[in-house]
Structure 1
Amino acid sequence: MSKKLSCFGPATLVTAAFIGPGTVITASLAGANYGYALLWALVFSVFATMVLQEMAARLGIVTGRGLGENLRELVTLPLLRWPLLLLVVAAIVIGNSAYQGGNISGAVLGAEALFADVYLIKYWQTVSGLNLWALILGALAAAVLWFGQYKWIERCLIVLVLLMSLAFIGTMLLTKPDLPALLTGALLPQIPAGALLTVVALIGTTVVPYSLFLHAASAAQKWPKGSIDTTKALSASRTDIAVAIPLGGLISLAIVSTAAAAFFGSGQQLENVTQLAQGLTPLFGSAATWCLAIGLMAAGLSSAITAPLAAAYALSGLVGKPLNLTQPLFRLTWLVIIVVGVLLSSLGIRPLSVIWFAQVANGILLPLICLCLLLAMNHKVLGQYKNNRWQNLLGVLVLLVSLLLSGRSLALAFSLL
């Protein structure tokens, strides 16, 4: 089994991170409202993610440190260093606490669709007013992180990503997509009237700053410096990226396609994922609904594991602590985020002010982290593994896109005021 899965590694954690409830909702709305027309945005987002994640993984492998630790060394001026470090903590640690409620809530929606008639669950929720599924799924995420070493966590997430793949791609096949329209949408860029924000949102749910911290640190742990030939480790990392990131893109494509087949042109308005799941049964049978529910539960649970893990990697690296899964600060960070997420989901609370704050911080952070990553990839500490001209050109292109995403994130956040 391990040999068959040898092509999967730290990049699978990135896929598990960006295929969460937010991506499912965004992709569903894109398909329902615009059909297959915006698939090219997913193709671009996969390309941009591969460019940035390759750099993050290379930085982790060559230096043996995570992105947080490298930022501490790269940014030495106090006037720049402390604001940047505080921004990272705000966007990734505090922000992920707010988004964790959404991750667990998404997994809960999938679980409720699959096990709607379980008497004990219904009785508990009636008596206590708390959502038992949120407690169960939060406890499961905590158990994976508490008892698992890196290899165990990686394997759990590989299983979840493969489960998502089978579920969402299976749903797409059951809905019989329009293949010519699918190929046209993927290969020919177009922006229908009113679709610009959706285009930016599709890219923004894939290209996220915390995945860079997650990938650099996990690559440093997967291939420790000095324990393996650097060139071989980089080759294995690039194979991992070439398999896992496009697989994530295929999952997103499947979600867009499913929503397009079920809702586009039907005159119905899609408002949430539950409505999509319910709408599949009369059109394509209960199997499609079950597949979507399984995929949604796996997507929520995978993000509920990776978001706290990324925050713990980022904070530990920034304060100079070792990236050790059993280190007290590391455990405390992800545990607090999971507990906050469980409470938000279980009580049905949507912390608008915290989410607004996280959107603003992430909007500022994404281009800053892209710029810092590009500077780090041209630092002399990387020696022969520095960026070449083409890698820098691609990185600058993604940096420009990150500025667009930043503008969208800030505009959205301030529109909530």
Structure 2
Amino acid sequence: MFKKIGPGALVAAAFIGPGTITACTLAGVGFGYALLWAVLLSVLATMFLQEMAARLGIVTQMGLADTLNNQLPSKAIRYLVITIVLGAILVGNAAYEAGNIGGAALGLEAVFGENHTMYHPYVVGFLSFILLWWGSYKFLEKVFMALIALMSISFLCTAILTGPDLIALLKGIFVPTMPSESLLTVMALIGTTIVPYNLFLHASLVNEKWKSKNDLKAARTDTVVSIALGGLVSMAIVVAAAAIPSEEVTNAMHLTMALEPLYGEVARYFMGIGLFAAGITSSITAPLAAAYVANSCFGWKAKLHDWRFRLVWMAILSLGVFFLSFGIKPIEVIKFAQIANGILLPAIAFLLVWMVNKKQLMGAHSNNRLQNLVAIIIVALTVLLGAKSIIKVLELA
């Protein structure tokens, strides 16, 4: 089974980042186990969309942006879509990279204490650079599988230490409820799991591992197992956070500190290690995804060690370290990225469903009626998410 795990592990690592950890922490602190169903819903929706992206990538042996370029009929529409894709993913990933590196740095602080915290972002940036510069796809795949295993064990152990009420936990997962003022938290849980750049990343990565339509079953197994594991990690964070008094916790770092007096020093270390693994995986996948998107959009056909590919991920990584090191919050850039992502997610979800229904493109591997029914529901959900993201940014403007 482990030989079949690959691109899905990178996708799972990409969505379990500091943003997801913070959303899950706030969900657990504010609503206990009541919103676990939202995590389950978002994981199932992510599985479905990522499976379509992987299937498209294997059948066409092209990236998502390449396929869009070939399939969109109008040159004006092609340029519009590619511009939005580049703007949302390249600029967005650069803006959010500081948060990814910061999450890993907080994990180091939780494990090693507050000594030399000013150097932690540089340590994370250097590790990310080394892995991306010298790593082949197979090497990165193994690194991510190891980091996901570390992250999963850390967060699951943390959740177990809190001694959860299993009946209440199962009820939270399988009986949807909407406590007062929980709507924004539900949207945050879904929005941090269904990530538009992961669709581009997945469609490109499957070409690195699989070259035949006979591998579709292996790709599906990889997607389901990896994303299910990511969902389990998210649920474990919600469970751990639910055990902490609400006034003590407002973010992921507070959660690591709040666990120590209640459950002993080991809980803080587990949480810190998990936070470090989550941060560093996201700090690698965000630049990697940006490079793959640029590669597809510009038609470079470049490999991991091509100078153009490296130039893109180095720019994203450097900007993340720069913003974090000097305490710069590029608010306007982040607002632009949120608006662009708000447009991109439903647009790409719709175009993805459209492409996997094209018989001349997908042949016997196009969607069936049940898949299309589920796809319509998910596209409607992405429209709601996108609208909420845009409205939130405009309200803050």
Which band: TM-score by shorter chain?
over 0.9
What residue number does 1:249 align with?
231
- Amino acid of the structure 2 residue aligned with 1:353: E
The RMSD of aligned alpha carbons is: 1.2
Asked if 1:105 is matched to 2:102, the reply is: yes
- State whether residues 110 and 257 of structure 2, in contact with CA within 8 Å, keep that contact through their aligned partners in structure 1: no
Asked if 1:271 is matched to 2:253, the reply is: no
Taking the TM superposition and a 5 Å limit, the aligned residue runs for 1:7-86 are 7-86=4-83
Asked if 1:238 is matched to 2:220, the reply is: yes
Asked if 1:317 is matched to 2:296, the reply is: yes
Asked if 1:382 is matched to 2:378, the reply is: no
Alpha-carbon distance between aligned partners in 1 of 2:107 and 2:328, rounded to the nearest angstrom: 19
Aligned-pair CA distance for 1:275: 1.4
Alpha-carbon distance between aligned partners in 2 of 1:415 and 1:278, rounded to the nearest angstrom: 33
Asked if 1:404 is matched to 2:391, the reply is: no
What residue number does 1:355 align with?
334
Alpha-carbon distance between aligned partners in 2 of 1:318 and 1:46, rounded to the nearest angstrom: 28
- State whether residues 367 and 399 of structure 1, in contact with CA within 8 Å, keep that contact through their aligned partners in structure 2: yes
After the TM superposition, list the runs of 4 or more consecutive aligned residues in structure 1 that deviate by more than 4 angstroms: none
Alpha-carbon distance between aligned partners in 2 of 1:17 and 1:191, rounded to the nearest angstrom: 28
Decide whether aligned partners of structure 1 residues 152 and 86 sit closer, same or farther in structure 2, where only a CA change above 3 A counts: same
Stretch deviating more after TM superposition (147-156 or 94-103) = 147-156
Alpha-carbon distance between aligned partners in 1 of 2:54 and 2:114, rounded to the nearest angstrom: 44
Aligned-pair CA distance for 1:394: 1.3
Aligned-pair CA distance for 1:415: 2.1
Alpha-carbon distance between aligned partners in 2 of 1:76 and 1:165, rounded to the nearest angstrom: 44
Decide whether aligned partners of structure 1 residues 294 and 152 sit closer, same or farther in structure 2, where only a CA change above 3 A counts: same
- Amino acid of the structure 2 residue aligned with 1:182: L
Alpha-carbon distance between aligned partners in 2 of 1:75 and 1:346, rounded to the nearest angstrom: 42
- State whether residues 63 and 203 of structure 2, in contact with CA within 8 Å, keep that contact through their aligned partners in structure 1: yes
Unaligned runs of 5+ in 2: none
- Secondary structure at the aligned position of 1:349 is classed as coil
- State whether residues 17 and 282 of structure 2, in contact with CA within 8 Å, keep that contact through their aligned partners in structure 1: yes
Aligned-pair CA distance for 1:74: 1.5
- Amino acid of the structure 1 residue aligned with 2:340: A
Taking the TM superposition and a 5 Å limit, the aligned residue runs for 1:216-235 are 216-224=203-211, 228=212, 230-231=213-214, 233-235=215-217
Alpha-carbon distance between aligned partners in 1 of 2:337 and 2:273, rounded to the nearest angstrom: 29
Taking the TM superposition and a 5 Å limit, the aligned residue runs for 1:203-214 are 203-214=190-201
What residue number does 2:309 align with?
330
Alpha-carbon distance between aligned partners in 2 of 1:400 and 1:263, rounded to the nearest angstrom: 36
- State whether residues 217 and 323 of structure 1, in contact with CA within 8 Å, keep that contact through their aligned partners in structure 2: no
- Amino acid of the structure 1 residue aligned with 2:185: T
Alpha-carbon distance between aligned partners in 2 of 1:385 and 1:414, rounded to the nearest angstrom: 41
- Amino acid of the structure 2 residue aligned with 1:168: F
Q: Give CA-to-partner distance per residue, 1:228-284, whole Å, 9 cap, x none.
A: 4x12x10101111121111000000000000001235xxx25222221111111111
- Amino acid of the structure 2 residue aligned with 1:63: T
Asked if 1:143 is matched to 2:130, the reply is: yes
What residue number does 1:297 align with?
276
Alpha-carbon distance between aligned partners in 1 of 2:226 and 2:71, rounded to the nearest angstrom: 29
Asked if 1:367 is matched to 2:346, the reply is: yes
- Amino acid of the structure 2 residue aligned with 1:251: V
Please give the TM-score of this superposition, normalised by the length of structure 1.
0.93
Aligned-pair CA distance for 1:323: 4.3
Aligned-pair CA distance for 1:101: 0.4
Please give the TM-score of this superposition, normalised by the length of structure 2.
0.97
Q: How many residues align?
A: 396
Unaligned runs of 5+ in 1: 123-130
User: Percentage identity across aligned positions?
Assistant: 47
